[in-house]
Structure 1
Amino acid sequence: MIGTGWRHAASLLPQRVLGPLGWLRGSLGAGLAIAVAGLATAALLGSEGSRLPWLVAPLGASAVLVFAVPASPLAQPRSVVIGNLLSATIGLTLGMLLGDPLIAASLAVGLAIAAMSLARCLHPPGGACALLCALGAAGPEGWNLVHLGPIAANVLTLAAAGWVYNNATGHRWPHVIVPAAPPPPAEERPVHTREDIAATLADWDEVLDIDIDDLDAFFRAVNERVAERGKVR
């Protein structure tokens, strides 16, 4: 019901303001989520709030992904929560063990990328989390694993806010891939198959910020639109 009301309101304004992913929608969501995360974490920390951070900087980058590009594989809840916490743990651990900020930070970012990739939770702000925690643990601040508490509160609250806000504003989150239409008979087969997309991506040797099944569904929808236009003619 809320999503329907939002879509009606969005239809009354220019697309670039509230359209599919207009700047106002993402800006409001991110701002609200950061405020909620800060308040929730400060409340949880209580008297410890004077010595532990109630907001960490990488949360801002996570908010950009969650609210501005919620369909991105890098912006899904698994990536936001596990990616950030895994990276923070690596950064804190290396900072405490090595004691040298430069070495700890360098290794932490590299290992965080490797760990997130292997765990299938790659999240760019995770690199910032690893860097921040390594510097905090190896520097005079003396960060330790206790600092995982506020970081966890931050990312969990952000994820919860993202789930509520994105779904309420018409963007299912976690993102659900629209099933591709079944291929027509061979004599009317579209100009591409899913295998063609995979082969082309392999030839490019690049990582695009979109799921291959989303690409397949998109191209099939384009093919259907072109076919419908041909019928009208």
Structure 2
Amino acid sequence: MFRLTSARFTALLPQHAFDRLDWLRSAAGASIGIAAAATITMMLLGGDRTTLPWLVAPMGASAVLIFAVPASPLAQPWSVIGGNLFSAAIGLAFGLWAGSPALAASLAVGTAIAVMIFARCLHPPGGACALLCALGAAGADGWSWPYLWPIAANVLALSLAGFVFNNATGHKWPHRAPASDTAKAQADMREDIEAVLTEWDEVLDVDIDDLHALLQATNARAARRTA
């Protein structure tokens, strides 16, 4: 009979729990970021806030990335700003052109992913932005290009809050990988990492420089233990 021990249960979980009080820092940052995005956008919209959205749902997903995993390549400022705004514009364009919500949504999300990859600003909430705007433009609500302004205000305000909060709490944002040794052996290690990732043909949610620094630190720690 299978017994689900605590060790087995932990092994089923794909993510580790945050150390120390990082969970509290992430939660507080996300709350502050969303509040800033909503407040600033409402102030900028003024009387238009009754007809235009002053906060859009994809910002919740962006806040998770910005404040919970600020070192992720998908959570960097260019990814947040470019990914959301490119995708929102693409969604509006397809929604206004296609007429059919289903057709507009499918084309918008697929195109948004392609554009984000080529523009090097892949950001998962961008897919939600494309979907939201495509459905809004092709559906009964009749969204048009002015709807891009509150989304832009949301994105910029959230990014500003992320910059201030993350840097104030000891998490450099934009993220920079720790400095690494530039010796020949270390250069070879980085090339090996790149080669392995190419062989795997997978996109990992971690920067190569971070992987390189992590392996260097691990090797150095192992060498000290051996000595």
TM-score > 0.5 by shorter chain: yes
8 A Cα contact 1:133 1:143, kept in partner: yes
Indicate whether 1:196 and 2:192 are aligned: yes
1:17 is displaced (CA, Å) by 4.2
SS of the counterpart of 1:120? coil
Which structure 2 residues correspond to residues 106-125 of structure 1 after superposition, within 5 A?
106-125=106-125
SS of the counterpart of 2:56? coil
Match of 1:134 in 2: 134
Equivalent-residue separation in structure 1 for 2:108 and 2:23 (angstroms)? 33
1:195 is displaced (CA, Å) by 1.4
Match of 2:215 in 1: 219
SS of the counterpart of 1:25? helix
1:221 maps to a residue whose letter is A
Match of 1:53 in 2: 53
1:59 is displaced (CA, Å) by 0.3
Match of 1:16 in 2: 19
Equivalent-residue separation in structure 2 for 1:82 and 1:212 (angstroms)? 21
1:181 is displaced (CA, Å) by 2.0
5+ long unaligned stretches in structure 2: 1-17
SS of the counterpart of 1:70? coil
8 A Cα contact 1:181 1:221, kept in partner: no
Indicate whether 1:90 and 2:86 are aligned: no
Aligned residues: 209
Moved over 6 A (4+): none
1:84 maps to a residue whose letter is N
Equivalent-residue separation in structure 1 for 2:182 and 2:97 (angstroms)? 55
Percent sequence identity is 61
Match of 1:175 in 2: 175
Q: TM-score, normalised by structure 1?
A: 0.87
1:230 is displaced (CA, Å) by 2.1
5+ long unaligned stretches in structure 1: 1-14
Match of 1:65 in 2: 65
1:175 is displaced (CA, Å) by 0.3
8 A Cα contact 1:95 1:137, kept in partner: yes
Equivalent-residue separation in structure 2 for 1:77 and 1:31 (angstroms)? 18
Equivalent-residue separation in structure 2 for 1:127 and 1:17 (angstroms)? 32
8 A Cα contact 1:108 1:134, kept in partner: yes
Equivalent-residue separation in structure 1 for 2:218 and 2:181 (angstroms)? 11
Match of 2:9 in 1: none
1:60 is displaced (CA, Å) by 0.3
SS of the counterpart of 1:16? coil
Q: State the Cα deviation string for residues 112-148 of structure 1 (Å, max 9, x = none).
A: 0000001010000000000000000000101011001
Equivalent-residue separation in structure 2 for 1:205 and 1:32 (angstroms)? 38
